[in-house]
């Protein structure tokens, strides 16, 4: 039974979104295996989406196109049509708004809906309403949605990823009372926000199921995290613990995309005026190390770095405030420092320095696997850059480059070469 104060939240996910949109636009493809690939002309291109028929051949998202062609030589390969996917995503969001005004876009193919107030109005159960919405989206957009239902966003999300996607009717309810019996037995890598790296850490800590994390007293989990990640990991420990317990007070907020902080920054007034480049470099490196460590502890990478500098004279300070996009997202101190140093020396007027600051912006989840990265770059907040990339290069070069570089952890100065390779 639903408690009176309890909310009813959906996380709705579009099945094989890009591939479904391609099929909806090209009716002749209905019964054929279809994939969308970042660069269809190259066997090294990455599969961005595969329809269920393609998946039945063993094809999966983030696979190389060459591998997919081996599994299914007849697979239809489409290039991405991002504008079309955005249009369909917005149209689906509009359909959801017919059922509740509390719709939050989470990614291009996922939305949160708070339907607490809608159930009375439509005089039905939460699963009946989900089924109604599902039918409406299928009929008008030709896209199948799966709906996870829960009293919090984090439970709705985990209901979708772990259960609704596997349920034949595409709907699953994960109530507070089900958490222990249904969610806790799952292996820890099935928990939202836990990627391969975090899985290894949890396993090393002896926590192999979601229940192990949930049942570790929070203060103890913080201690274990501190021992592994340093003292700034308390927040991360608490996020993991709350996720495992399904605790999440955050409301469904129309128009927002994620919960990441906008920036991480540190600045300092110097103990005395620094007059030489060498002195300033040292303090810039310290500041960079501080913000990067902070970002690593919180599990973020950064795409832009901002440097602030105030110089003498005191009565009419000079200086600058400049930011730049880094070649690719990182939280590596030396890679960030390279950009920090370049910004500083390009802009410094040579006057004695009294105050400096370094801020990381464009933060992203570090725990992105290649798959998550694709979803992430297609989030609406990044659509402009995605579209530009596609316009410029006709094939998601930016996406492929970012992911392969992040995966391989190649040095910053090799970026040009990799970029060249994919041109």
- Report the catalytic residues: 110
Using the contact rule CB under 5 A, the part of the chain among 107-115, 147-155, 311-319, 376-384 near Mg ion is: 107-115
User: Which range binds Mg ion by CB under 5 A, 7-15, 77-85, 190-198, 388-396?
Assistant: 7-15
Residue 161 binds to Mg ion (criterion: CB under 5 A): no
Alpha helices in 111-171 (DSSP H): 118-122, 126-141, 153-159
Least spacing, CB of residue 88 vs Mg ion, in Å: 12
Please give the residues from 164 up to 183 whose contact with Mg ion meets the rule CB under 5 A: none
Give the residue from 387, 300, 405, 308 showing the smallest Cα distance to 84.
387
Among positions 330-389, residues that touch Mg ion (CB under 5 A) are: none
- What's the Cα-to-Cα distance from 25 to each of 34, 41, 76, 107, 174, rounded to whole Å? 12, 21, 14, 21, 34
13 annotated to bind ligand: yes
Q: Does 13 bind Mg ion (CB under 5 A)?
A: yes
Q: Between residues 114 and 375, which has the closer beta carbon with respect to Mg ion?
A: 375
List b or e across 245-258, with b for residues whose CB sees 16 or more CB atoms inside 10 angstroms.
bbebeeebeeeeee
Q: How far is the CB of 134 from Mg ion (least distance, A)?
A: 14
The piece of 6-14, 44-52, 60-68, 263-271 that touches Mg ion (CB under 5 A) is 6-14
Cβ proximity to Mg ion, 87 vs 392, nearer residue: 87
**294 known ligand binder:** no
DSSP E strands, 254-383 = 264-274, 300-311, 318-330, 353-365
Our CB check for Mg ion shows the closer of 52 and 58 to be: 52
Residue reference for tokens 């249904």: 182
Six-digit token pair at 73?
A: 């030589």
The piece of 108-116, 131-139, 187-195, 292-300 that touches Mg ion (CB under 5 A) is 108-116
Between strands 9-14 and 47-50, the pairing is unpaired
Question: What is the closest distance, in whole angstroms, from the C-beta atom of residue 78 to Mg ion in the complex?
Answer: 17
How many residues at the interface with Mg ion, by CB under 5 A?
3
Q: Give whichever of 381 and 393 is closer to Mg ion, judged by the CB atom.
A: 381
Position closest to Mg ion via CB: 109
The answer to whether the CB of 295 falls within 8 A of the CB of 264 is yes
| Residue of 22, 39, 104, 109 that binds Mg ion (CB under 5 A) | 109
Considering only 9-17, 32-40, 323-331, 359-367, which stretch makes contact with Mg ion by CB under 5 A?
9-17
Which of 165, 125, 155, 189 minimizes the C-alpha distance to 13?
A: 165
Of 15 and 304, the one with the shorter C-beta distance to Mg ion is 15
The alpha carbon dihedral of 176, 194, 379, 297 has a sign of positive
Q: Are strands 103-107 and 145-150 parallel, antiparallel or unpaired?
A: unpaired
Comparison of 51 and 280: residue with beta carbon closer to Mg ion? 51
Minimum gap (Å) between residue 406 Cβ and Mg ion = 21
CB of 375 to Mg ion, least distance (A): 8
The Cα–Cα gap between 137 and 17 comes to 12
- Tell me, residue by residue from 16 to 45, as one string, x for binding to Mg ion by CB under 5 A and - for no binding: -x----------------------------
* Backbone phi, psi, residue 303, to 5°: -105, -20
Q: Based on CB atoms, which residue is closest to Mg ion, 17 or 99? A: 17
- Rg (the chain; Cα; Å): 24
Residue indicated by tokens 């801020």: 359
Residues 6 or more apart in contact with residue 223 via CB below 8 angstroms: none
As measured in angstroms, the least distance from the Cβ of 105 to Mg ion is 13
Q: Per-residue DSSP letters for 243-284? A: HHHT-------TT------S-EEEEEEEEEEE-SHHHHHHHH
Question: CB 223 → Mg ion: shortest distance, Å?
Answer: 37
Annotated binding site for Mg(2+): 13, 109
Binding site for Mg ion (CB under 5 A): 13, 17, 109
């Amino acid at each position: 039974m639903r408690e009176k104060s309890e909310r009813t939240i959906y996380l709705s996910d579009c099945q094989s979104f890009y591939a479904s949109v391609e099929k909806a636009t090209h009716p002749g493809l209905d019964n054929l295996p279809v994939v969308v690939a970042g660069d269809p002309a190259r066997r090294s291109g990455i599969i961005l989406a595969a329809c269920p028929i393609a998946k039945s051949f063993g094809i999966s998202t983030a696979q190389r196109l060459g591998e997919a062609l081996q599994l299914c030589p007849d697979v239809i390969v489409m290039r991405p049509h991002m504008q079309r996917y955005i249009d369909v995503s917005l149209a689906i969001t509009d359909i959801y708004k017919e059922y509740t005004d509390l719709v939050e876009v989470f990614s291009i193919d996922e939305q949160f809906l708070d339907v607490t107030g809608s159930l009375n109005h439509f005089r039905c159960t939460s699963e009946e309403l989900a089924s109604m919405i599902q039918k409406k989206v299928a009929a008008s957009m030709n896209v199948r949605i799966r709906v996870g239902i829960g009293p919090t966003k984090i439970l709705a999300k985990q209901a979708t990823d772990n259960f609704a996607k596997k349920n034949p009717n595409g709907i699953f309810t994960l109530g507070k009372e089900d958490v222990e019996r249904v969610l806790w037995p799952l292996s820890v890598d099935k928990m939202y926000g836990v990627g391969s790296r975090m899985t290894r850490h949890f396993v090393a800590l002896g926590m192999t199921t979601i229940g192990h994390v949930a049942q570790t007293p929070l203060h103890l989990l913080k201690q274990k995290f501190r021992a592994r990640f340093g003292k700034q990991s308390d927040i991360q420990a608490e996020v993991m613990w709350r996720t495992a317990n399904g605790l999440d007070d955050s409301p469904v907020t129309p128009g927002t995309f994620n919960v990441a902080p906008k920036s991480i920054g540190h600045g300092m007034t110097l103990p005395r005026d620094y007059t030489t480049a060498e002195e300033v470099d040292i303090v810039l490196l310290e500041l960079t190390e501080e913000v990067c460590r902070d970002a690593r502890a919180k599990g973020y990478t950064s795409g832009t770095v901002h440097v602030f500098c105030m110089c003498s004279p005191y009565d009419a300070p000079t200086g600058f405030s400049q930011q730049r996009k880094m070649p690719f997202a990182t939280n590596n101190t030396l890679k960030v420092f390279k950009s920090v140093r370049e910004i500083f020396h390009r802009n410094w007027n040579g006057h004695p320095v009294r105050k400096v600051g370094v801020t990381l912006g464009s933060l992203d989840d570090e725990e992105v696997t290649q798959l998550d990265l694709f979803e992430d770059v297609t989030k609406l907040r990044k659509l402009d850059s995605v579209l530009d990339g596609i316009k410029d290069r006709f094939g998601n070069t930016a996406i492929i480059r970012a992911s392969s570089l992040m995966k391989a952890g190649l040095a910053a100065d090799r970026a040009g070469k990799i970029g060249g390779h994919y041109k």
